[in-house]
Amino acid sequence: MIDNDTISAISTAQGAGGIGIVRVSGKDAFKIGEKILRHPSGKPIQTWPERRVRLGIVVQTGQRVLDEVVFFTFKGPKSYTGEDILEIQGHGGMENLQLILAATLEAGARLAEPGEFTKRAFLNGRLDLAQAEAVIDLINAQTELAHRVAVNQLSGGLSQILHEIEGKLFKILVPIEAALDYPEEDIPPLEKEEALNIIRSVKAQIRTLIDQAERGRILQETATVVLAGRPNVGKSSLLNTLLNEERAIVTPIPGTTRDFVTETIDLQGLPLRIVDTAGLREIDDPIEKEGVNRSWELIKKADLILFIIDSTLGLSVEDRDFIKEIYQSVHRRKLLFVLNKSDLPAKINPTEVNSIYPDEKILSISALTREGIEELKQTIRSELMGEDFSPEHPILVTRLRHKKALEKTKELLAQVEDGLKSGISEDLIAFDLRDAIDSMGEITGRSVNEDIINAIFSQFCVGK
């Protein structure tokens, strides 16, 4: 899967900066360096002491000096990619870096694809797939919590547990396979009770990992919280209060918000996308109608819907109709009722709403005075991450891909358990166990197909 090309890319972000980095990786990395780097005196660079920062100038073919730089080399396999690497740190202007990049290309490199450095690191065994995914998560982390989870995964937190589980399963598999492969040898038979105990403990470990997966997904993908409700109930006011700024237009006129407004907030480490929508109502005005259509689209896609009710008006027939429609259209029903305007005399209180919708959580707030806002934030967090969530317990499974692989493993282990109990032939047990181990291997990339690998690395930026 790895080609022979030497690849090159600008590894720092687009834009002006103090320093910018061009990275070259592959068998010709040092040769390319020799072609384009000179000592400031103009003499060619002949020796390449590894891992030592050196001063140099970059020259284009035709000898035009492009930049004064520092550079260093890493000899493979002890490098990020596992190959020879040349890293050039120049001045961080885009034109400058583009010219240095062009010089490396002219000297024989090929432009790297997105994530190709990390892909090579994976293919050369420097990182496993879960760790490579953590690199993307670390780059994309917007909050302290997301960062913490990514670092944990990058340092091999998940991989370590999976290896431990694999080790336990091999304890069952090895004696079975040995007995099957060498029937003439006197191999002690599999201890059925011991095997069952191992399977049970592994299943419990996997269950815990799966339970965390939804939290991990929400953290990495940024959950979407949609503010929905009839016009004038205070959706835009609540958005502004959550953001601490006057982002959305607020007026006493129903139908103020037409198009939706999306903003991202950091809710105690949890990254959230908050969407203020057009108030729900039957309307002929074509612009507002389109706004209401969009509100419904957003409601259907939300991770959490805050259905806002104006407590000074009570629960209207329209409110009830819309709630009914939400129940029908939302597949993963995640709804929180918010009674707004608690600073004014109320027509309805949470207990009354609760008597109509006994399964729902109901909160009372004032977007104007901020009363109840802290409790609302706390509730949003626990609805999305679970009551018992605490950042001290690191989340290990962050992706749907991991979750699916674990679910498959769990199913196969249930089959193994049944097989052991009913005493089916050991070769069938070995077969399911192998599949279970392979399915876990999809997470770390030990047994995964090329399409999945390509899909994962295409999420990277160029230069990583």
| Euclidean distance between CA atoms 202 and 432, whole angstroms | 15
Report what 252 binds from ligand GTP, Mg ion, none; CB cut-off 5-8 Å by kind. ligand GTP
Report what 17 binds from Mg ion, ligand GTP, none; CB cut-off 5-8 Å by kind. none
Report what 232 binds from ligand GTP, Mg ion, none; CB cut-off 5-8 Å by kind. ligand GTP
Residue 79 or 295 having the CB closest to ligand GTP:
295
DSSP 20: E
Closest by Cα among 270, 165, 254, 284 to 220 = 270
Beta carbon of residue 368, minimum distance to ligand GTP (angstroms, whole number) = 4
Residue 98 or 369 having the CB closest to ligand GTP:
369
What residues form DSSP beta bridges with 119? none
Beta carbon of residue 375, minimum distance to ligand GTP (angstroms, whole number) = 14
Report what 366 binds from Mg ion, ligand GTP, none; CB cut-off 5-8 Å by kind. ligand GTP
Which residues are at the interface with ligand GTP (CB under 6 A)?
231-237, 250-252, 254-257, 278-279, 340-341, 343-344, 366-368
Beta carbon of residue 339, minimum distance to Mg ion (angstroms, whole number) = 17
Closest by Cα among 329, 341, 249, 336 to 295 = 329
> What is the full DSSP assignment across 52-103?
--EEEEEE-TTS-EEEEEEEEEE-TTSSSSSS-EEEEEEEE-HHHHHHHHHH
Beta carbon of residue 257, minimum distance to Mg ion (angstroms, whole number) = 3
Residue 276 or 426 having the CB closest to Mg ion:
276
Report what 15 binds from Mg ion, ligand GTP, none; CB cut-off 5-8 Å by kind. none
Beta carbon of residue 312, minimum distance to ligand GTP (angstroms, whole number) = 8
Residue nearest ligand GTP, Cβ-based: 279
Q: Widest CA span of the chain, in angstroms?
A: 88
Beta carbon of residue 251, minimum distance to ligand GTP (angstroms, whole number) = 6
Which residues are at the interface with Mg ion (CB under 5 A)?
235-236, 256-257
> What is the full DSSP assignment across 304-331?
EEEEEEETTT---HHHHHHHHHHHHH-S
| Euclidean distance between CA atoms 204 and 202, whole angstroms | 5
Beta carbon of residue 142, minimum distance to Mg ion (angstroms, whole number) = 25
Report what 143 binds from ligand GTP, Mg ion, none; CB cut-off 5-8 Å by kind. none
Report what 344 binds from Mg ion, ligand GTP, none; CB cut-off 5-8 Å by kind. ligand GTP
Residue 267 or 278 having the CB closest to ligand GTP:
278
> What is the full DSSP assignment across 169-206?
HHHHHHHHHHHHH-TTS-PPPP-HHHHHHHHHHHHHHH
Residue 89 or 257 having the CB closest to Mg ion:
257
Residue 16 or 344 having the CB closest to ligand GTP:
344
Does residue 5 contact residue 83 with C-beta atoms inside 8 Å?
A: no
DSSP 44: B
Residue 339 or 453 having the CB closest to ligand GTP:
339
> Residue 237: phi, psi to the nearest 5?
-65, -40
Beta carbon of residue 344, minimum distance to ligand GTP (angstroms, whole number) = 5
Report what 61 binds from Mg ion, ligand GTP, none; CB cut-off 5-8 Å by kind. none
Closest by Cα among 69, 50, 47, 43 to 58 = 69
Closest by Cα among 167, 157, 301, 171 to 224 = 301
